[in-house]
Amino acid sequence: MKIITDEKMIDEFLERGVEEIYPSKLAFRKKLMSGERLRIYQGFDPTGPYLHVGHAMGIRALGILQKLGHEVIFLVGDYTAKVGDPDKDTTRKMLTDEDIEKNMAGWKEQAAQLVDFGGDNPVRFERNNKWLSKMTLGDILKLMSKVTIQQILQRDLFKKRLEADDPLKFHELLYPLMQGYDGVAMEVDMEIGGADQTFNMLCGRDLSKNYLGKEKFVRTNKMMDAPDGVTMSKTKGNGINLADSPEDMFGKAMSYSDKHILSGFELLTDVPVEEIREIEKAMEQGENPMIFKKKMAYEIVRMIKGAEAAAAAQENFEKVFSKKGTPDKVTSMEVTAEASIVATMVSVGMAESNADAKRKIEQGGVSVDGEKITDITAKITKEMDGQILKVGKREFRKLKVKK
């Protein structure tokens, strides 16, 4: 495999969305310029079913390295997921094998939107179950003997829980070691991960040195908030997911509050930095942020789903929300004449329960062809055939009345 040393691509890798590179950007730059073929990976624990646009940052970075000819590994932490990277304030529940399989089922496909698992330099898809599940107690003891409790307790969230007298289970302390061991097992030259992974990745840096006498570089990615203002997380499911439809992605992106626009551009799109500066200036001069948010949303969708899908998603958004119209594509559903609207809503998941459906009607959130339903006992009629049932702002179904 020929190694490419395109400085522009290398700088993109070293700068865009990067919080820090350990031990230094300069050192890794040298490595990339050396012509040596490097092995780099990022791991993702299947603690939830969807990869999101936050992960896309790392995956995109992997994509650059793939193009440069390096050996790239997309690692699924199917074994580490059992423990779960410890959380701020609670012990995670241990996931079962079935949960894990279910969660990771669509991942390769999701990631394939950004990197190539085929071609002449395919990204390798690995699972850490391959080596972690085979460790003996002896191996584990050896691993544990490499670090001190004090070192592990440096991790701020461990400290916090200790100080708050919140439970901290013994196995949670092993997480950084497990993650670090991945790097040892794969003998990698670099690990990429979110800034929240800094501790774990640096811990692994020490282990690589110890076990292999090898320097593992670490790149940490800046963290992007979810539209609700909290860090995007697989577990919470609050992110813009790679598996979302273009329309949903666009809508979710639009629900970012205005102050996230600039970081959204930087971290979730490939709009050049100079252009982002200009947007910043324009907004300071009082330009309507919505214009730029729409551009941001478009760019996010375009990067993952392509230009055509992004344009269609934007059009759909404007039609449905700006003009309060009906989208072009509406899923149809078969309904029975004389069935109550309430029951119909529940049966297709437009309401969680009868009570919920009634609430939505009472609050004026349900309409058929623009006509508000006000009566909670209302029924489906033959005349409704072909009409559009709307619940809330963004749930539409075309009615197909049977008989």
Partner RNA sequence: GGGUCGGUGGCAGAGUGGUCAAUUGCAUCAGACUGUAAAUCUGACGCCGCAAGGCUUCGGGGGUUCGACUCCCUCCCGGCCCA
Q: With binding defined as CB under 7 A, does residue 263 bind RNA?
A: no
- Please report, as residue ranges, which positions from 132 to 171 form the binding site for RNA (by CB under 7 A): 162, 165-168
Please state, in angstroms and rounded to a whole number, the distance separating the CA atoms of residues 54 and 251.
16
**CA-wise closest residue to 65 among 6, 126, 125:** 6
Count of other CB atoms within 10 angstroms of residue 258: 12
Q: Which is nearer to RNA, 198 or 263 (CB)?
A: 263
| In the complex, least distance from residue 244 CB atom to RNA, rounded to whole angstroms | 8
What's the min distance (Å) between Cβ of 284 and RNA? 13
Each residue of 144-183: b (16+ CB within 10 Å) or e? eebbeeeebeebebbeebeeeeeebeeebbbbbbbbbbbb
Asked whether position 370 contacts RNA by CB under 7 A, the answer is no
Residue 258 interacts with RNA (CB under 7 A)? yes
Least spacing, CB of residue 351 vs RNA, in Å: 8
Are the C-beta atoms of 17 and 267 separated by less than 8 Å?
Answer: yes
Exactly one of 94, 105, 149, 355 binds RNA (CB under 7 A); that residue is 355
Residue type, 304: I
Q: Please give the sequence-ordered ranges of beta strands (E in DSSP) within 9-123, or none if there are none.
A: 18-22, 39-44, 71-76
- x/- letters, 316..345, toward RNA (CB under 7 A): -x---xx-------------------x---
| Residue 23 preceded by cis peptide, ω within 30 | yes
Helix (H, G, I), strand (E, B) or coil at 399: strand
Number of residues that bind RNA (CB under 7 A): 48
Residues 226-255 that bind RNA (CB under 7 A): 227-229, 238, 247-248, 250-252, 254-255
- Residue pair 31/10 in contact by the 8 Å Cβ criterion: no
Question: Given the DSSP bridges, would you call strands 371-372 and 366-368 parallel, antiparallel or unpaired?
Answer: antiparallel
> Considering only residues 90-109, where is the footprint of RNA by CB under 7 A?
90
Q: Tell me which of 159, 394, 400, 402 binds RNA, using CB under 7 A.
A: 394
Return the number of the residue (272 or 325) whose C-beta is nearest RNA: 325
- Least gap, CB of 318 to RNA (angstroms): 7
Q: Is 52 in the site for RNA (CB under 7 A)?
A: no
Q: How far is the CB of 261 from RNA (least distance, A)?
A: 9
> Rounded distance, CA 200 to CA 388, Å?
51
Instruction: Please enumerate, as own/partner, the contacts of 81-84 that have beta carbons within 8 Å and a separation of 24 or more.
Output: 81/45, 81/46, 81/47, 83/171, 83/172, 83/174, 83/175, 83/178, 84/45, 84/47, 84/175
Q: Is 346 in the site for RNA (CB under 7 A)?
A: yes
Least Cβ distance, residue 278 to RNA (angstroms): 17
Instruction: Write the binding mask 280 to 309 for RNA: x where contact by CB under 7 A, - elsewhere.
Output: --------xxx--x----------------
Q: What are phi and psi of 268, to 5 degrees?
A: -110, -5
User: Least Å distance between CB 264 and RNA?
Assistant: 11
Q: Which chain residues interact with RNA by CB under 7 A?
A: 89-90, 162, 165-168, 227-229, 238, 247-248, 250-252, 254-258, 288-290, 293, 317, 321-322, 342, 346, 352-356, 358-360, 363-365, 376-377, 391-395
